[in-house]
Amino acid sequence: MGIPFEGNNLSLFWHGFVQTVLLSGASALLALVLGTLLAACRVSPVPVLRAFGTGWVGVFRNTPLTLLFFAVTFGLPRVDVHLSAFVCAMLALGCYTGSFVCEVLRAGINTVPIGQAEAARSLGMTFGQTLTLVVLPQAGRAVLGPLSSVFIALPRNSAIAGAFNVAELYSVQQTLSEQGYAIFAIFFWIALAYLCISATVGLLFRGLERRLAVGA
Amino acid sequence: MTETTTERPATPLVVLSGVNKSFGAHHVLQDIDLTVHQGEVVVLIGPSGSGKSTLCRTVNRLETIDSGSITVAGSPLPAEGRELARLRAEVGMVFQSFNLFAHKTVLENVVLGQVKVRRTARAEAETKARSLLERVGMAAHADKYPAQLSGGQQQRVAIARALAMDPKVLLFDEPTSALDPEMITEVLDVMRALAAEGMTMVVVTHEMGFARSAANRVLFLADGRIVEENTPEEFFTNPRSERAKDFLSKILHH
């Protein structure tokens, strides 16, 4: 059972762990920015933007993540865009997760009473100001719970990147089983590492919920 | 005309002419003509569904109109966009449900518009916010969140928030309809003080006492039309239309 503490394994594990954290972090950032922009599109008064947001969510939320990895990794080189495996994985994960973030935020926006936006507009705020200063901060607070589920799913989804040449946590499993270690023992340690990441994300969100709770 | 209107130079501030508006088949505003002069307090009363709230909301284009024209301080209401945002900053609005920003403190509520819309320096905006809160008797609650306040307190903060923009005209859309009776007075007192200071106000209300004591003019709306327009004294003691007589008889004897 003590696989990580044999030979060079600890550094192998550590490297994979760091790659997973980096990949998840970068994708989470992309997903958050993209998701917010998409949500803004979906509630904007401009029909073209609304259609764009709806289309994006329709495509990326309904496509299997593995297929998206394929599309990015093998599709982009065809149009002469050459990116590292890490960046490809980040794009696939970010675009996929972004569509979920968008839908969660949109649900949150719908919970904010219309009067909040009317008050903002009546003070002379533009659509962008109304959204970023008044509506989204309240929408975000309302959906921290579901949002944390999306961001806990992200590091686990990132395991697919292991099959696309990113030396992350899950790919460590391949290396180790080639070295002849017992498969269940390997999976135990890898699962434990994923659990650490997910639990940390969960804790972060719970802390955020406590900090942002509005006095009442 | 009454003395109060002849004292003031009658500069038209808000002018509605031939305004029509329908929600589907329901014709809520029918050929509305209305001129509000600077410093005037116009009270809109009427049964529910008469269109008075809608009329009030068309003035800062929270409600669009189907035909006719609305001008504020001489310029017609622009279409949606930055121009309209600029105009809205000049037209304050107080809502029935207060609509204070729930995630901001009382002080922040009054500061936000100044800093983000007027681009006032933060320190200056806070000083102004505190003095406005003082004026509405809410200075002691500056650091609380809206949910920690009573309805009357929230509404007074909402008035301070609107005043912070130095509006040319203030619109009140049933400002006391969501309040307990004892809180109504504290809000009406603030509004009376504003009226006495010469603020131009358009007030939709069911508070006949306020209409009597603070209004220069009372407009009675029914079924989307201005049925009667008079001084408060004349309107309440000697209503001309049957519709107004009927309405007053239902609300005044209790």
**Partner-chain contact B95 A118, CB within 8 Å:** yes
CA angle, B75 as apex, B72 and B80 as ends, to 5°? Answer: 85
Interface test with A, best of B56, B88, B144 (most A CBs within 10 A): B88
Minimal CA–CA distance to B190: which of B161, B168, B219, B216?
B161
What does each C-alpha distance from A142 to A112, A119, A131, B14 come to in angstroms? 9, 19, 15, 39
CA B83, B88, B90: angle at the middle one, nearest 5?
A: 110
In a domain, A30, yes or no: yes
- Domain hosting residue A13, numbered range: 8-211
Parallel, antiparallel, or unpaired: how do β-strands B200-204 and B169-173 relate? parallel
Average pLDDT, stretch A123-148? Answer: 94
pLDDT band at A173 (very low <50, low <70, confident <90, very high): confident
CATH architecture of B12-100+168-250: 3-Layer(aba) Sandwich (3.40)
What residues in chain B have their Cβ under 8 A from chain A's Cβ atoms? Answer: 60, 62, 80, 82, 85-93, 95, 97-103, 112-113, 116-117, 144-145, 147-148, 158, 161-162, 165
Residue A31 in any domain: the answer is yes
Q: Do A122 and B91 touch (CB under 8 A)?
A: yes
- Answer yes or no: are the C-beta atoms of B49 and B36 closer than 8 Å: no
Reported as a pLDDT band with limits 50, 70 and 90, residue A216 is very low
Q: Is the predicted pLDDT of residue A10 greater than 90, yes or no?
A: no
Note the pLDDT of residue B228.
94
Contacts of A119 in chain B (CB under 8 A): 93, 95, 99-101, 158, 161
pLDDT at B5: 47
For residue B63, give both structure tokens. 């409600």
pLDDT of residue A6: 78
**What is the full DSSP assignment across B49-68?**
TSSHHHHHHHTTTSS--SEE
Write the CATH number for A61: 1.10.3720.10
- Count Cα neighbours of B52 within 13 Å in the Cβ-side half-sphere: 27
Q: Tens digit of pLDDT per residue, chain B (254 long)?
A: 444 444 556 789 999 999 999 998 899 999 999 999 999 999 999 988 899 999 999 999 999 999 999 999 988 998 888 889 999 999 999 999 999 999 999 999 999 999 999 999 999 999 999 999 999 999 999 999 999 999 999 999 999 999 999 999 999 999 999 999 889 999 999 999 999 999 999 999 999 999 999 999 999 999 999 999 999 999 999 999 999 999 998 887 65
State chain A's mean pLDDT as an integer: 92
Answer yes or no: do B113 and A123 touch at CB < 8 A. yes
**HEC profile of B155-220:** HHHHHHHHHCCCCCEEEEECCCCCCCHHHHHHHHHHHHHHHHCCCEEEEECCCHHHHHHHCCEEEE
Q: Smallest Cα–Cα separation from A144: which of B147, B103, B112?
A: B103
pLDDT attached to residue B8: 53
Residue range A172-199: mean pLDDT, rounded: 89
Q: How many CB atoms lie within 10 A of CB B22?
A: 14
Token pair listed for A171: 């790919």
**Alpha carbon B141 to chain centroid, angstroms:** 24
pLDDT for A215 beyond 60 = no
pLDDT in tens, A64-93: 999 999 999 999 999 999 999 999 999 999
Note whether B76 and B84 are within 8 A (CB): no
A160 within a domain of the structure (yes/no):
yes
Which residue's entry shows tokens 């949910």?
B147
The whole-angstrom separation of Cα B40 and Cα A49 is: 43
Whole-angstrom distance, CA of residue A6 vs CA of residue A17: 17
What pLDDT shows up at residue A176?
86
What is the rounded average pLDDT of the residues A189-199? 93
Please list the residues that pair with B217 across neighbouring strands. B42
Return the residue of A nearest to B162 by Cα: A123
Domain count along chain A: 1
pLDDT at A130 over 50: yes
Contact B36, B202 (CB under 8 A): yes
Smallest Cβ–Cβ distance between B147 and the set A120, A124, A214 belongs to: A214
Residue A13 maps to a domain: yes
Does residue A171 fall inside a structural domain?
yes
Share of chain A above pLDDT 70, in %: 98
Cβ separation B99–A116 shorter than 8 A: yes
Asked if B101 lies within 8 A of A120 by C-beta distance, the reply is yes
Residue of A46, A122, A138 to mutate, testing the B interface (most B Cβ within 10 Å of its Cβ): A122
Q: How far is CA B20 from CA A92, A203, B11, B72, in A?
A: 52, 55, 24, 17
- Contacts of residue A122 in chain B, CB cutoff 8 Å? 60, 62, 88, 91-93, 162
